[in-house]
Amino acid sequence: MSATALALIGFSPAAHAACDPAAANDVTANCTGTTVDQGGGAPGTSADIIGYGTGFETNLTASVVSGASVTGSLIGIAAQSMTVTNSGTIAGSNFGIFAPAAATVTNSGSISGATGIAATVVTVTNSGTISGDTQDGISAITATVMNAGTISASLRGIIADTANVTNSGTISGDYGIAANTTATVTNSGNISGSTSGVFATTTANVVNSGTISASTYGVFATTANVTNTGTISAAAGAGVGAVTANVSNSGTIAGDSVGIAGILAANVTNTGTVSGGVYGIRSATTTVTNSGTITGNVGIDSTLFGGGIANVSNSGTIIGTGGTALQFSGNDDTLTLLPGSRILGAIDMGGGADVVNFIAGRDTSWLITLNNFTGTINGFGDAPFVIRGNQIATLDPTPFAMADRTLMDFTRSISGILGSLGGTGAAQNGPLASAFAPDDSIAQRVDAFASIPALAYAGDAILFKSPTVVTADGRSVWARGFAGEHTQQADGALLHSTTTFAGGAVGFDLLAQPDLRLGAFVGGGQSVLSLDVDAGNTRTDTGFGGLYGRYAFTSFGAPSTLEVALHGGSGTSAVSRTVNSNLGVEVATASYNSSYVSPEAKYSVNVPLWSQYTLTPSFGLRYVAGFFDGYTETGATAPLTVAARTIQNIEQRGEVKLTRATPVGPDLLLTNVYVGALGIERLGDTTVNTVLLGANLPFVTPGKNNVAGVLGGGGFEWRTRKGVSFFGAGEAIGMSDSGTVVSARGGLRVAF
């Protein structure tokens, strides 16, 4: 624009100005009151139509303070080039601010006109309101706008050949932002358009963490480069539309028709959500890396204009609500499936020399069926998998890896309830307290221990004395329960899992000899293995029973015990396995019988420290063999068949326990704390033989074959003079394979 252009629309210089001083080149003015039509007049008339300035001044600086106003019948403020700071009101019927050359505007007030601000080159910092009542909010050849306020217009919030916009406020119009060449937009606020939120004839560079919305296109350009962590949407068109769309999305992009449309090419990296009523993503040449969610009547379509080459890598979710998740053309396409991939809908490869790559890893089981497939399938990964024809099946091995861990935890708890205080001997031969009168025939056998002060209270230490309430044969009955949880962290191909277990038993024991106690018990319990990401679960109900014995003797000059037990049981397991098929999620189920046997032995020495305290080092060894029947699943398109198998484990456990015996009236309270270590080793053949998709699928049980752990715990036992004792204990174990086990047990014993 030029002075000639100003004259053509009726501008002429005038000498009137209420802002102080009058408008002139290089003038700095303050506008503190109400200024109305004090600028230029129409040619041949005396009428003034500009609030301040004539449109011919250069380097005019004007400051409109809060509460002040500058109003023109045609233009609020006009100059060839100007700098305006406005905290008040600037208004004109055509333009709020008009600068044929350049304008720098800082606004915290209100600027309005048919077009709010018009200039060839404009720089605007806005925290107030700029409005274009019938045209544009800001119009320029080059516009640089920092907006934290409101820019609104009937046509375009901002229109420029080149628009550079940083917005944390609100911009709206039929087009929120429109650029004849390039729009560079950083938005953390709200940009909306009746037609398009951001529109660029050539290139749109958009970084959005706020909201961009429109009816037809959220963002449209010949080349759209979009990084979105916020929301971009179109109520009746495409969220992002372009000839070439380059999109990185971790937010939400949605279109009533298409989420992302690239006429020639779409290059999309998605960790968020992309959705479209007809297509999630549609283009000719399509490159998509997805770890988020893509949905549409067709999830991804690469057949536009006859189709281009598709390269899709998925570790997220792609859903075809109309039945087709992926629709490729007849070109040589590539599909890569990574752990975490969920495809719901048909996969139409479209023919051609397609390549499907997949990695079977830490995930639920898959069943992938490829339609119109004439290419090559390449499989990799740690999890078991089968390729057969146009189908891929993978298997989550976590339940098989956790089978022996679950059995070891359950049987360890059974061993724990056979112990007395803190898990070392419910089959104790000892008295409830030395304060109780001993049976003389037995007491003579422990004269050697009578001089040890600590043993006066450590009930397990004076091994042969019996309270007067116990009959000559020392019979007792007991009932005890246990509960615990094993948490296994994800590792390799194994999912994170949690196993809960609980059970209880009743038992009877007696003194077979003064130094030997024997007993028997029966009980039952349940363990439930639950896998992460709803991959499945296994529930096992087990009945068990066994024999135990405790022999008292002297070693290293101290009272010692040897505890032995043999127990076993049988159970029924119900297994559920989730199969993520692209034709619909399936849940495969089965049941099978199992049994186990476990012999064990434990040696301990009671070392007196001082009055009331005893230190007990111990070492135990137990062996567990589990026998699992085979089974075949039902409820799945590709059921899994598992052959019968045997698992074997051996566990070594060493610990040091400190016990305190405290008289409580006529009763005795025993408390303890202990620390220790254990090791578990798998033995024998660890191969699991299965059949999947009609193909043999043997694999070695995953997970570590040898693990070590550290443990600690504590407990109490309250022994009454009347022959009733109450017991409780807790324990925590940390394993070298990132597993943790916490458990508790408790119960009572009655001597008669």
Q: Answer with the residue of higher pLDDT: 710 or 462.
A: 710
| 188 torsion bin: left (phi>0), alpha (psi -120 to 50), beta (else) | alpha
Asked whether the beta carbons of 529 and 538 are under 8 A apart, the reply is yes
Q: Give the mean pLDDT of 362-368.
A: 96
CB atoms within 10 A of CB 125: 17
Handedness of CA 399, 405, 411, 412 (dihedral sign): negative
Token digits for 542? Answer: 């087990």
Tens digit of each residue's pLDDT (9 = 90 or more) over 442-501: 333 333 333 333 333 333 333 333 333 334 467 999 999 999 999 999 999 999 999 999
Residue of 118, 255, 132 whose CA lies nearest to 197: 255
Q: How far apart are CA 586 and CA 365, in angstroms?
A: 10
Residue of 410, 457, 481, 413 whose CA lies nearest to 612: 457
Asked whether the beta carbons of 318 and 344 are under 8 A apart, the reply is yes
Token digits for 186? Answer: 């950083």
Tens digit of each residue's pLDDT (9 = 90 or more) over 137-151: 999 999 999 999 999
Give me the pLDDT at residue 751, please. 87
Q: Give the mean pLDDT of 291-307.
A: 94
Token digits for 590? Answer: 């089965």
Name the average pLDDT for the chain. Answer: 90
Q: How far are the Cα atoms of 362, 405, 419, 604 from residue 527, in angstroms, in the given order?
A: 23, 11, 21, 30
Looking at the chain, how many residues does it have? 752
Q: Give the mean pLDDT of 235-259.
A: 97
Tens digit of each residue's pLDDT (9 = 90 or more) over 105-125: 999 999 999 999 999 999 999
Tens digit of each residue's pLDDT (9 = 90 or more) over 41-70: 544 444 679 999 999 999 999 999 999 999
Give me the pLDDT at residue 721, please. 86
Confidence band for 239, pLDDT divided at 50, 70 and 90: very high
The reported pTM is 0.84
Q: How far apart are CA 282 and CA 573, in angstroms?
A: 47
Token digits for 506? Answer: 């009743």
Give me the pLDDT at residue 41, please. 53
Token digits for 426? Answer: 């419910």
Q: Which residue has the tokens 């830490």?
A: 362
Confidence band for 508, pLDDT divided at 50, 70 and 90: very high
Taking 50 as the threshold, does the pLDDT of residue 605 lie above it?
A: yes
Tens digit of each residue's pLDDT (9 = 90 or more) over 713-738: 999 999 998 889 999 999 999 999 99
Residue of 256, 307, 287, 559 whose CA lies nearest to 429: 559
Give me the pLDDT at residue 18, please. 79
Q: How far apart are CA 522 and CA 547, in angstroms?
A: 9
Taking 50 as the threshold, does the pLDDT of residue 427 lie above it?
A: no
